[in-house]
Amino acid sequence: MSITSALNSAMSGLRAASRASELVSNNIANASTPGYARRTLSISSNMTGDFGGVRINGVQRHVDAQIISDRRLSGSEFGYRSATTNYMNRIEDLVGTPDKQGSLSARLADFENSLITAGSRPDAIERLSAAALGASDLAKSINTVADGIQDARSDADRNIASQVTRLNDTLKAVEAVNVKITAANARSVDVSGLQDQRQLLIDEISEMVPVRVVDRDHGTVALYSTGGSILLEGRASEIGFEPANLVTPYMSVGDGTLSGLTINGYQVNTSSASGRLHGGTLGAQFEIRDELAPEAQTQIDALARDLIERFESASVDPSLNPGDPGLFTDEGAALDATQELGLANRLELNALVDPNQGGESWRMRDGLGASTPGNAGDATLLNALADALTDQRVPNSGAFGPAAFSATDLTASLSSQLGSDRLREDQMLSFASTQFYELTQLELAGGVDTDVELQNLMVIEQAYAANARVIETVDQMFDTLMRI
């Protein structure tokens, strides 16, 4: 080997060692940085004529694409289950459990007790007033649950709007990074940093919408939802949504009063069964707004209807004429079975007995149609009202099945349904959380190991010192030759 060849080999070795030490330093510094992938230097021998040395082929970014894909999908599921579980907890808290003060069951029990108490002393005006106020509190509790369901729908609608904006912005950002990577590859510039940035952006997208990443030419990628929609293919798709901000029981996607999703101007399905973007936090908000909350509204409306029907019969209150509203009303009117949607929001105590509306509580004893107070000692109507609550009857609406229920049993059934649904969501959330955690740990295990990197740095330092020693020896040889 000639002196020139030795010097060339040593110089190329120094350059490679310097670049490798830089990568190791970056690996150690970014060991905890989200999205960062471990880098190593790709080198090979360089034989050009009589000259040898080290050729730097480029920087290798070490990732396991399959683990990342699985982790993203599990993250989408975790986000989806977190959103639906939070909703279930919210609605269950509104209805309450039978042992909870202020729950629907507790309000109904208080009303029933007040009727029994008033029946034991029908001449006591304060007991009649307590019964009327108990009925009013029960109606208001049902109103609160129904309003809370619509608040959940409104919140979901607003969340959809914010997530669609974020999704569009992130897709545009991935498109921009793709362009930068293409340009950098054309100039043979290291693109590892841009790939890290793109990975974080795709992670953000996958939280909202589960995606599949497809490699394209020049280091770019395309993104497809697992439902089959194109999110990014060269250019980012435009996701469209028009927020309603305030959602009422009477609004739905089907009648055009609520917005669905569009992709590049084309309407797409948003249902939980076959939605094109279903599975992440965005799909969860659509499911809450368009499926879960309307189902809860149907059940609470059925409960309100059952309550009205129990007291609207002349067999309970003989003073009522056909078509007259009973103790509980639809905003003051008698029940119209064809207008059941939103009934729980409109439920009111009949103003004739409501002290808060100028009514007379003695009508609890003498009948809603009575013009003057009757026999103060007659508890017949009060007992009939109490019996109406315990009467076993099959609900005319709702998903309660064909069994007959008392008012207490029907309320308990609703509470039980909500508790069962919430428990099922909790179990699914627990599974999704565990899966997401395990895949995240598996991904991190393939990341930067600082102990290994420090060992690599020691090897690199030895290689650097060896090449430096060759250069020093060549320098000494030139000095010796110059002195001859």
Instruction: Please give the chain's pLDDT, 484 residues, in tens.
Output: 577 777 777 787 788 888 888 878 888 888 888 878 888 888 777 766 556 677 777 788 888 889 999 999 999 999 999 999 999 999 999 999 877 888 999 999 999 999 999 999 999 999 999 999 999 999 999 999 999 999 999 999 999 999 999 999 999 999 999 999 999 999 988 898 999 999 999 999 999 999 999 999 999 999 999 999 999 999 999 999 999 989 999 999 999 999 999 999 999 999 998 899 999 999 999 999 999 999 999 999 999 999 999 999 888 999 999 889 999 999 999 999 999 999 999 999 999 999 888 899 999 999 999 989 989 999 999 999 999 999 999 999 999 989 999 999 999 999 999 999 999 999 999 999 999 999 988 888 888 778 887 888 888 788 888 878 877 787 788 787 777 7
Would you call 13 exposed, middle or buried from its count of C-beta atoms within 10 A (0-12, 13-18, 19+)? buried
Q: How far is CA 352 from the centre of its chain?
A: 45
What's residue 448's pLDDT? Answer: 79
What's residue 197's pLDDT? Answer: 94
**Separation between Cα atoms, residue 2 and residue 363, nearest integer Å:** 118
What's residue 7's pLDDT? Answer: 77
Domain residue ranges of the chain, discontinuous segments joined by +: 3-64+449-483, 69-436
Computed on alpha carbons and rounded to an integer, the radius of gyration of the chain in Å comes to: 36
**Separation between Cα atoms, residue 46 and residue 78, nearest integer Å:** 50
Q: Give the CA count within 13 Å in the CB-facing half-sphere of 395.
A: 26
Contact 418, 335 (CB under 8 A): no
Distances (CA, A) of 70 to 60, 226, 313, 328: 22, 12, 60, 54
What's residue 236's pLDDT? Answer: 97
Dihedral sign of CA atoms 159, 165, 170, 171 in order: positive
Q: What is the pTM of this model?
A: 0.89
What's residue 50's pLDDT? Answer: 59
